[in-house]
């Protein structure tokens, strides 16, 4: 990371069905607004390959009024940043509708904007930081080693992680091809670096670096409106298309 702000794309994942534990807490508190989990990503061009979304089970989230029609679920830290970036109807003002534990969100069904799988589930991830982005991470296991390693953990130990295996049943989708790693960059790197789980933080950091560089400099899109184009070109185009469609907004910190 360089100096100066990190420019994320904040992806709006509309709630389709709350988990039962979340439903009872949310009921009657959002004033008829549509609620979106908001995920911060640096790789908007990979959004075609979303298979689920991650939250931290020990993180506290809030649901914040964006305007009369929409509410966003993220950390209160992110909501404050959004307010000062003009994301909400009144600049600088944060209106929290409720607070909810990350653990209660697991099993919620949400829309995945631009996803080849249009609906996905919320799952737990151990390494979600409350101090970065929105605290919500959309998962693209084809291109993110962290996402892939976590998905494999969840599938291997569904009971331990208290999830219904059905929630982790969507397979990685080929989105980008690279000369070094083929159509499934993250699985290839996880294998090559012998990464066993999401706890292998050090190797995952290395895999992330390699995946990012190879994808950015040599990657080509396999799907979507910009199929055949380089990742470098598609990155800005997909971001603009998502923002244009009202499915994302710019978020910096």
Residue 41 interacting with ligand A2H (CB under 6 A): yes
Residue 216 interacting with ligand A2H (CB under 6 A): no
Q: Mapped to the 3 state alphabet, what secondary structure does the chain carry?
A: CCCCCCEEEEEEEEEEECCHHHHHHHCCCCCCCEEEEEEEECCHHHHHHCCEEEECCCCEEEEEECCCCEEEEECHHHHHHHHHCCCCCCCCCCCEEEEEEHHHHCCCEEECCCCCCCEEEEEECCCCCCCCCCCEEEECCCCCHHHHHHHHHHHHCCCCCCCCHHHHCCCCCCCEEECCCECCHHHHHHHHCCCCCCCCHHHHHHHHHHHHHHHHHHCEECCCCCCCCEHHHHHHHHHHHHHHCCCEEEEEC
Least distance to ligand A2H from the beta carbon of 94, Å?
Answer: 19
Closest residue to ligand A2H using C-beta atoms: 133
The nearer residue to ligand A2H, 62 or 133, going by C-beta atoms, is 133
Task: For the segment 191-210, give every residue that binds ligand A2H (CB under 6 A).
Answer: 208
Q: Which stretch binds ligand A2H (CB under 6 A): 89-97, 134-142, 158-166, 240-248?
A: 134-142
Q: Which stretch binds ligand A2H (CB under 6 A): 126-134, 190-198, 199-207, 237-245?
A: 126-134
The nearer residue to ligand A2H, 16 or 252, going by C-beta atoms, is 252
Least distance to ligand A2H from the beta carbon of 165, Å?
Answer: 21
Q: Which stretch binds ligand A2H (CB under 6 A): 19-27, 28-36, 86-94, 137-145?
A: 137-145
Q: Which residues bind ligand A2H (CB under 6 A)?
A: 1, 6, 40-43, 46, 127-129, 132-133, 135, 137-140, 143-144, 147, 208, 212
């Amino acid at each position: 990371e360089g100096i100066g702000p990190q420019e994320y794309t904040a992806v709006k994942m509309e709630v389709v069905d709350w988990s039962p534990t979340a439903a009872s807490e949310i009921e009657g508190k959002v004033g008829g607004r549509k609620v979106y989990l908001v995920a911060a990503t640096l790789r908007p061009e990979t959004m075609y390959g979303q298979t689920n979304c991650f939250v931290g089970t020990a993180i506290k989230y809030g649901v914040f009024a964006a305007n009369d029609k929409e509410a966003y679920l993220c950390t209160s830290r992110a909501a404050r940043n959004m307010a000062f970036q003009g994301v909400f109807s009144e600049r600088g003002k944060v209106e929290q509708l409720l607070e909810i534990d990350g653990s209660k969100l697991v099993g919620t069904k949400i829309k995945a904007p631009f996803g080849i799988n249009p609906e996905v589930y919320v799952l737990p991830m151990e390494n979600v930081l409350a101090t970065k982005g929105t605290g919500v991470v959309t998962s693209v296991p084809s291109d993110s080693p962290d996402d892939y390693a976590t998905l494999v953990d969840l599938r291997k130990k569904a009971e331990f992680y208290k999830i219904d295996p059905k929630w982790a049943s969507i397979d990685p989708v080929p989105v980008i091809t690279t000369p070094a790693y083929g159509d499934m960059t993250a699985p290839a790197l996880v294998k090559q670096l012998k990464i066993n789980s999401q706890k292998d933080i050090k190797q995952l950091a290395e895999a992330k670096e390699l995946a990012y560089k190879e994808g950015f400099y040599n990657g080509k899109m396999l799907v979507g409106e910009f199929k055949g184009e380089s990742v470098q070109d598609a990155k800005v185009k997909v971001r603009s298309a998502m923002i244009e469609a009202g499915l994302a907004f710019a978020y910096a910190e």
